[in-house]
Structure 1
Amino acid sequence: MDKYKNSSLPVEERVEDLLSKMTLEEKVAQLCGNLLPSVIDENGVVEENLAKNFYMGHGRFTQASTQGIQSATDMATRFNQIQKFFVEKTRLGIPVVFQTESLCGLPIQGGTIFPSQMNLGYTWEPELAEKMTTIISEECRSTGITSSMSPVIDVSRDLRWGRTYETYGEDEYLISQMGVSYINGMQKNKTDGVACIAKHFLGYSETQGGLNTSITRVNDRELYEVFATPFEAAANLADVSGMMANYSEIDGLNVVMNKKISQDLLRGTMKYRGFLTSDGAGIQRCYNTYHVANTYEEAGFLAKKAGTDTEIPVGGSFKALPKYVESGQLDESLIDESVRRILTVKFEYGLFESPYVDIESLKKSLNNEEKNKVAKEIASKSMVLLKNDDILPLKIDKKIAVIGPHADNLRYPISGYTYPAYIEMMLASEAGEVFTFGGIADANGEEGDASGAASQDVSSMNINDIIRRMGGSSLYDELQNRFETIYAEGCPIIAEDRSGFDAAVEAASQSDIVVFACGGNCGWTNATGGEGTDRAKLDLPGVQQELLEKLVATGKPVVMVIYGPGLFAIPWAKEHVSAILQASMPGLQAGEVVADVLDGTINPGGKLTQTIPRSVGQTPVYYNHRTGSGYELPTDKGYTGFAAAIFKGGYTDEDDQPLFEFGAGLSYTTFELSEFQVAEQEVSTDGEIKVSCKVTNIGERDGDEIVQIYYRTWGAHVIRPVQQLGGFKRVHLTKGQSCKIDFSIPCSLLGFYNEEMKFVVEPNKIELSVGTSSSNIAYRDEVQLTGQTLELMGKRSYSSKVEATF
């Protein structure tokens, strides 16, 4: 028996044995992707296409879950047929990978739908990410999906960018905790898990003008200290199997062609061992969009030479790599490096031993009530109360006017990259509409079609009916079962249609309280946010602001519930409405969860993970800006008299403080922080800073509080951020209950590039602050680091130890 077929041997030995038997063409085939319409038509798998185009083997079929829109069983059956060809009818029998998105669940019929990752971030509870992805992993693996193009661990600091909702926010520490937990749940022990591809490496969200795939203006210091941190954490703490290079360019080079990023930083500085894939059609864009290659084939050659391992969704340029090897322009050892990485994943995840789906047990692994409970838990814990003038919870004897484009909507509280969103995209494709699913749309004509699901007829499918059958309900559905209600849509989400204003004002006039369900929507068509759907303004879309002002003018208290993939600059609303609830996209159970918050069944405890500006003119604004580069903290306002007039900074026409700060979020109860203690005022640079405090629920309801610790470095010879998150803990406390929070911050977490571009921790002064948001600080103290300057490259920490003792 060939060594590579012997499961008792080490993976490294099996990889080398198989690699030694492969021809150049067989190696390159493992680096290529394709879409399933290349081998599937309306009648099923086309064996002739497999035999004609894939006899050398193949790496992966991406966006494979689009085959499960109508039937998970049919999808898995097709996967088995395709896999049978690769295992039994190619020379070496190397299994192919079926790959999909799974950010909010496996997007197929019968897959569990979870809240957006923005909502997951609002929970500040990484354990929920792992709980969620343990479920997603089981559902993926049971259907034959063994590769997930998730999670998104971009540091997202510009709210104009349409993919904000796919991220965990603006802070690299919080993102690292969430990302690592997501990956651990998804990959499990690898053998029965799903390989994650963390994206988008690197700096994708920091684009000029907030435009998707635009230029990224980031220096080397910030690129590593901020944007690379979650990816390095994913590599070192979770052994993430893959990373995806983003579309945009840094310093004149697209990341797929940028050796400084994809080789020197990723492989050299970060010591990453997994594979780096292009984003969908990312290499093709280097030729036909960015024009940095003369041909599509040359773009593939340049990407491979720079360090990109695979091409998706279609390997149109990588197929031509053999000719560059044969001409002496490309060393075959570079091909071998990439093939080793791909084969390692296939062996580690047990594809050679378990290439097929067990159809009989498939349905038992899909959505059920217990899994929906996890989705609801995440949604419930993600609710962020931003304002409350004692109007919430709503009193049962009040008549409620439920108004707004989200009031009776089922689809738009559900995130993108989900089953309903895919149906919506396919319906738009069938109708000939333009949509913005970049990688798939770009591959149109490149051995695939734009939908990636040519064999799926969705023309008879109704999204709302599907959501209702899955157990979804609208906010109006839920509220009318709990209160006397009156409903009026008022206006659509985007269109400037005021024809419903009069009915909405009349409904408000007949009520005691108005619930205004407003905001944006996400998707790949007719949306306010999503991939390739960015904003120049941060106002409420369409005519929603006009409607809001008319509702407030009735004199009735207005409770504003904000949905959507983006956050909005709403200074007028903050001043004039009675309550603001940031719901974003809670998922399938949105109607029930939001109603539970409004009537007090749920006490909201979520916190913002992004700073909300007063207007788009403040953008980008984020809490951990460098000293002197953003709004001043109250503790920094040290000038008086003439100096204050000259150096006060800020804007002449607007307050420079954000509308809502990072970490903000209210509750129906009240918490008090006390008994602060720093264990030692002097700590060695190789030691730990230990801080403790007591948190007590002094209000009248049970509730959750999220205690946060921040640090600031004084005395470095380079400018450091005004504050940085160093740890957090969410705790549930009953009325009158207390607990002790212990923070242990390793000094190796405090590293930064010094003036010589060495990544170090120095004997500087560290200011510590403990509170319940980045600006609601209850305690400050200082610790002096002592000892030697220590170089941390390869030794840095990514998290603190935080314990709650009840």
Structure 2
Amino acid sequence: MNKPIYKNAKYNIEDRVNDLLSRMTLEEKVMQLCSELPSNFIFNGEIDYTKLKSFGKNGYGRITQYSLVGLVSPQKIVKTSNSIQKFFIEETRLGIPIILQSESLVGYPGKEGTIFPSMLNLAATWEPSLVKKMAEIIGEECHAVGINTVMSPVVDISRDLRWGRCYETFGEDVYLTTQMGINYVKGIQSKNVSCIAKHFLGYAETQGGLNTAVTRLNKKELYEVFATPFEAMDKIANLDGMMASYSEIDGLPVGCNKEIIHDLLRKTMGFKGLLTSDGAAIWKIYDYFKIAQTYAEAGLLAKKAGLDTEIPVSGTYRHLTDFVKNNKLNEHIIDESVKRVLTIKFKLGLFEKPYIEEKNIFNQLTNNTKKKFSEQIAENSIVLLSNKEHILPITSNCTIGLIGPHANSKRYPISGYSYPAYIEMVQALKNKSNKDISFNGVIDEENKMQDSQSFNSMYNIFQNTDWNYLNNTNTIMQNIQATTLKEELETFYKLNYSMGCDITNTNFDDIENAYKIAQESDIIILTVGGNCGWVNVTIGEGKDRCTLDLPGLQQKLLSKLQMANKHIILIMYGTIYNISSTKNIKAILYAGLPGPYSGKAIANIIKGNANPSGKLPFTIPRSVGQIPIYYNHKVGSGYHSIGDKAMSTIFSGGYIDGIYSPLYPFGFGLSYTSFLISDINIKNKIIKLGDDIKLSCKIKNTGSFAGSEVVQIYYYFKEAHVIRPNKQLIAFQKITLKSNECKTILFTINTKQLGYYNEEMQFVIEPGMANLMIGTSSEDIIYQTNIQLIGNPLNIIGNRTYSSQNKII
């Protein structure tokens, strides 16, 4: 008997999808748009097949947050993956395999998964190749345990440091974010794992820096800035899916906003892939935004607007059949979404190879080489913001007073959405301390009274014996071989140590002890900042701020140590914090969330075994009152519009109570060595629209350390009839040079990178004069010149270029 077309790999994906769709009942179609949590059918470590059959008898779309099954054992998650697939292939009528979906922000978040620095740290490296290699590792490890879809990367343009999820992003710039996002998707999807990029659209640009609040953006910016990374990942890396943002745009949540989904995403951008809800986002349409009278109506609004699937539990999408039967929803809308789901399943080869090899699983997960690579990323991401009197590196024989909450912590330098963060979440759920959890979907799912199983019951997945491991944080951190800064420094220096204070507590007892240690030491290294995750943290989802003050007593600790009149090296973790005084602070390192192996990475920089090479992927304000502040502000609306001195008119000027320029600009970062950029050559300063801008420069390491510099190219179009940003990053190249070494960088920048909406709302490149700038940060511009673009205007919608082509010779 011949195989049906959908089971025959000789046919193309479109034919297989159409054949399978033609065989499906309405109920089977709707189930492909639905999602469940593993806690809905896994109890005490075992699959409850009665529960599985109760929701999966007609097939099913996906299981999400699936990595939870692997918190204790990689063998367990592999075995469970195969058992789940076997059920759907052998026990359902059409044998459609299921998507097993997880987060993967900084690695496969299960036992034996490699943990990497935060995305913001990745952005600070300015090395897209590192992102691709990291993503390949994440993809390999996810695939090895059966996870075939990951909800990453986060490519929100993040311009407000008050927002608690900045660490998940690649920063404030559209071009840098685009390059990082493209490489992340290429890396993951090369390992037969699908990406769902998030959050479409404008999620980070919310009122007051508050999570899920209104996004106030115009149509031009929505596409030019915020949609560009998504479009680029689709066009260049064949992105499989996107996640709709929680937030509101122009009076509607994105999940039921037809103008955003249909007009912008599908029509303008031409995206043919999957669009899923965020966790419990449809519930928010009803309960949070209150624009539907019932949860079921919220689902209908979302489906009619074009939202394909609902996660993490499909409390309303599983009832879409009722709306079709009652003539409130056209079955054609269901069909279009089912096609997108099935296309991904065929693309992943799940119909041919649904099962995972169970033997030798450890060989496919983390190892020392991968951990070393994570350390390398951490090292390359550290940004040296200040180094007065060249106090760093510390090479002399001196006594260091190491102080601060991060100095001897293995957990605090690790990002949220990580293996340790998930363990903290399930611990909190088990201990019924839900009020501490800032993960939106946890609380939202708990509020759905009609769902007896939700995030709130995730801890039920585990056997009682599993908690012997899950409750032992010290063992977990030892198993991933994390080391602290204290452990790494005390092997090289004479060290005096004091915590001084914890991140958020209000206990003054150790501050005096820290002061005594400072007095007894030659140099103070002070670690300050926040921590990240969902439980008892200062940064994360739902952990937004209205100040940039250091948490807890850390400012008081710093002020006390400044009284000791010793040189201070400040290391800032988490995000950016303002400090009230820089007295005695001779050096500042921005560490961010550099991961479990950052102790050695930072110690190498302090010792001079490594040269800091990170560059800021965001602008650092002087105070919270400057927010939002970003380098590529529009002409007339930012600090470059004011100039070095306030304008003399009564209508314009800077702040009357502070400086209006940033503390540190986008792209900034110091080195232990120095560089000279010379011999800048623009091949042709008159360029036809659609052709390439070609330029070259020499760069020489003129110092005594080997080191890396990032050459950055910025652009401003002078003759638009709409207001444009004062400058935009359009190319960059990081280069590593030995002392006295010199190389040439060739940049090729196609003019189709430079498009914008004109006054007629046409996305074009137009003739006119432009300013080309070359520098080492957005403010450190060493060369600029005018170029002339000629020819007829070109509408480049659907024909854009997203990346420059660079070559080092």
**1:372 aligned partner:** 371
Alpha-carbon distance in 1 for matches of 2:431, 2:522: 43
1:572: Cα distance to partner? 2.5
1:454: Cα distance to partner? 1.9
SS in 1 for 2:770: strand
1:615 aligns with 2:629: no
Query: Residues 98-130 of structure 1: CA distance to partner in whole angstroms, max 9, x if unpaired?
Result: 100001000000100111101100000001111
**1:412 aligned partner:** 412
Alpha-carbon distance in 1 for matches of 2:508, 2:547: 20
Alpha-carbon distance in 1 for matches of 2:580, 2:164: 21
| Residues 565 and 584, structure 2, Cα contact 8 Å, conserved in 1 | no
SS in 2 for 1:727: strand
SS in 2 for 1:500: helix
**Correspondence for 2:637 among 622, 629, 638:** 629
Alpha-carbon distance in 1 for matches of 2:678, 2:508: 52
After superposing the two structures, state which structure 1 stretch, 397-406 or 418-427, moved more.
418-427
1:717: Cα distance to partner? 0.4
Distance 1:694 1:570, change over 3 A: farther
Alpha-carbon distance in 1 for matches of 2:748, 2:661: 31
Alpha-carbon distance in 2 for matches of 1:633, 1:778: 20
**Correspondence for 2:97 among 91, 95, 98:** 95
1:688 aligns with 2:679: no
Matching residue's letter, 1:452: M
1:497: Cα distance to partner? 2.2
**1:570 aligned partner:** 579
Alpha-carbon distance in 2 for matches of 1:673, 1:474: 38
Equivalent residue runs for 1:29-108 within 5 Å: 29-108=31-110
Alpha-carbon distance in 1 for matches of 2:132, 2:806: 18
Alpha-carbon distance in 1 for matches of 2:4, 2:394: 70
**1:360 aligned partner:** 359
1:602 aligns with 2:596: no
1:150 aligns with 2:152: yes
1:739: Cα distance to partner? 1.0
Alpha-carbon distance in 2 for matches of 1:593, 1:758: 48
| Residues 121 and 169, structure 1, Cα contact 8 Å, conserved in 2 | yes
After superposing the two structures, state which structure 1 stretch, 36-45 or 61-70, moved more.
36-45
Q: Scaled by the length of structure 2, what TM-score is found? A: 0.97
Alpha-carbon distance in 1 for matches of 2:203, 2:101: 22
Alpha-carbon distance in 2 for matches of 1:298, 1:648: 49
SS in 2 for 1:578: strand
SS in 1 for 2:298: helix
Alpha-carbon distance in 2 for matches of 1:344, 1:361: 30
Matching residue's letter, 1:557: H
| Residues 570 and 614, structure 1, Cα contact 8 Å, conserved in 2 | no
**1:736 aligned partner:** 740
SS in 1 for 2:408: coil
Matching residue's letter, 1:316: G
After superposing the two structures, state which structure 1 stretch, 765-774 or 438-447, moved more.
438-447
**2:783 aligned partner:** 779
Q: Scaled by the length of structure 1, what TM-score is found? A: 0.97
**1:336 aligned partner:** 335
1:557 aligns with 2:567: yes
Alpha-carbon distance in 1 for matches of 2:174, 2:318: 37
1:648: Cα distance to partner? 5.8
Equivalent residue runs for 1:472-487 within 5 Å: 472-487=482-497
**Correspondence for 2:534 among 524, 537, 547:** 524
- What count of residue pairs does the alignment treat as equivalent? 796
Matching residue's letter, 1:679: K
1:301: Cα distance to partner? 0.8
1:527: Cα distance to partner? 1.0
Matching residue's letter, 1:397: N
Alpha-carbon distance in 2 for matches of 1:301, 1:85: 30
**1:438 aligned partner:** 440
1:577: Cα distance to partner? 0.6
Alpha-carbon distance in 1 for matches of 2:45, 2:438: 28
Equivalent residue runs for 1:79-228 within 5 Å: 79-188=81-190, 192-228=191-227
- Which ranges in structure 2 are unaligned for 5 or more consecutive residues? none
**2:238 aligned partner:** 239
Matching residue's letter, 2:254: V
**2:600 aligned partner:** 592
Distance 1:645 1:547, change over 3 A: farther
SS in 2 for 1:341: helix
**1:515 aligned partner:** 525
Alpha-carbon distance in 1 for matches of 2:480, 2:157: 33
| Residues 97 and 351, structure 2, Cα contact 8 Å, conserved in 1 | yes
| Residues 430 and 459, structure 2, Cα contact 8 Å, conserved in 1 | no
1:677: Cα distance to partner? 1.3
| Residues 376 and 601, structure 2, Cα contact 8 Å, conserved in 1 | no
SS in 2 for 1:559: strand
| Residues 559 and 579, structure 1, Cα contact 8 Å, conserved in 2 | yes
Query: Residues 607-663 of structure 1: CA distance to partner in whole angstroms, max 9, x if unpaired?
Result: 0000010000000000001011111268x5698xxx635466210111001011000
Query: Residues 26-79 of structure 1: CA distance to partner in whole angstroms, max 9, x if unpaired?
Result: 000000001011111115001111222210010000000001111011111112
Alpha-carbon distance in 1 for matches of 2:440, 2:133: 30
1:725: Cα distance to partner? 0.1
Matching residue's letter, 1:173: Y
Alpha-carbon distance in 2 for matches of 1:498, 1:630: 41
Query: Residues 566-613 of structure 1: CA distance to partner in whole angstroms, max 9, x if unpaired?
Result: 22233623x641000011111110111111111111100010000010
| Residues 38 and 461, structure 2, Cα contact 8 Å, conserved in 1 | no
After superposing the two structures, state which structure 1 stretch, 538-547 or 156-165, moved more.
538-547
1:423 aligns with 2:395: no
**1:488 aligned partner:** 498
**1:536 aligned partner:** 546
1:745 aligns with 2:749: yes
Matching residue's letter, 1:675: D
| Residues 675 and 693, structure 1, Cα contact 8 Å, conserved in 2 | yes
**1:316 aligned partner:** 315
| Residues 103 and 151, structure 1, Cα contact 8 Å, conserved in 2 | yes
| Residues 679 and 698, structure 2, Cα contact 8 Å, conserved in 1 | yes
Query: Residues 114-169 of structure 1: CA distance to partner in whole angstroms, max 9, x if unpaired?
Result: 11101100000001111001111111011000000000000000000000000000
Distance 1:529 1:762, change over 3 A: same
**2:456 aligned partner:** 450
**2:792 aligned partner:** 788
SS in 1 for 2:676: strand
1:497 aligns with 2:507: yes
Matching residue's letter, 1:497: N
Aligned-pair identity (%):
48
**2:715 aligned partner:** 711
1:468: Cα distance to partner? 2.0
| Residues 31 and 311, structure 1, Cα contact 8 Å, conserved in 2 | yes
**Correspondence for 2:22 among 14, 20, 23:** 20
| Residues 566 and 584, structure 2, Cα contact 8 Å, conserved in 1 | no
Alpha-carbon distance in 2 for matches of 1:551, 1:453: 43
| Residues 155 and 170, structure 1, Cα contact 8 Å, conserved in 2 | yes
1:431: Cα distance to partner? 2.1
SS in 1 for 2:648: helix
Alpha-carbon distance in 2 for matches of 1:699, 1:27: 65
Matching residue's letter, 2:166: T
Task: List, as ranges, runs of 4+ consecutive aligned residues in structure 1 with deviation greater than 6 Å.
Answer: none
| Residues 743 and 802, structure 1, Cα contact 8 Å, conserved in 2 | yes
SS in 2 for 1:562: strand
| Residues 385 and 590, structure 2, Cα contact 8 Å, conserved in 1 | yes
1:415: Cα distance to partner? 0.6
Alpha-carbon distance in 2 for matches of 1:650, 1:525: 40
Distance 1:499 1:645, change over 3 A: farther
Alpha-carbon distance in 2 for matches of 1:275, 1:426: 29
After superposing the two structures, state which structure 1 stretch, 425-434 or 693-702, moved more.
425-434
Matching residue's letter, 2:596: L
